[in-house]
Amino acid sequence: MLRQEQDIIVVGDAHTGELAVATLQETSIDVVLLGVRLPGMDGIETLNRIKPFLPTSCYELTRSFIAQRYHVNYQTVGVTQWP
């Protein structure tokens, strides 16, 4: 869906947290969209691992289901708004 937008350039996608970390280490981006529930490493842990090398990027966590532990932990990784 984002690839169809005229003013957005999608530079990559990853289906796991581990792949997201590996992909994002190789690029400079403005916005990171992450699912909270990812196979393997979840979105919170993925965010913890990518923020050190992309400290000025904006981060958005998306969800289809939220367990209570995610809601408690989101502030600790620098997400300022919870959906």
Q: Show me where the domains of the chain are located.
A: 2-77
Find the mean pLDDT for residues 24-29: 85
* CATH assignment, 2-77: 3.40.50.2300
CA 72 to mean position of chain CA atoms: 17
Find the mean pLDDT for residues 23-43: 85
Closest CA to 37 of 45, 49, 29: 45
**pLDDT above 90: residue 49:** yes
**pLDDT above 60: residue 22:** yes
Find the mean pLDDT for residues 30-54: 87
Query: How does pLDDT run across 57-69, given as a tens digit for each residue?
Result: 888 877 654 444 4
* DSSP code for 47: H
CB atoms inside a 10 Å sphere around CB 16: 13
**Is the separation of the CB atoms in 17 and 46 below 8 Å?**
yes
Closest CA to 78 of 32, 12, 25: 32
Q: How confident is the model at residue 2 (pLDDT cuts 50, 70, 90)?
A: low
Average pLDDT over the chain reads: 77
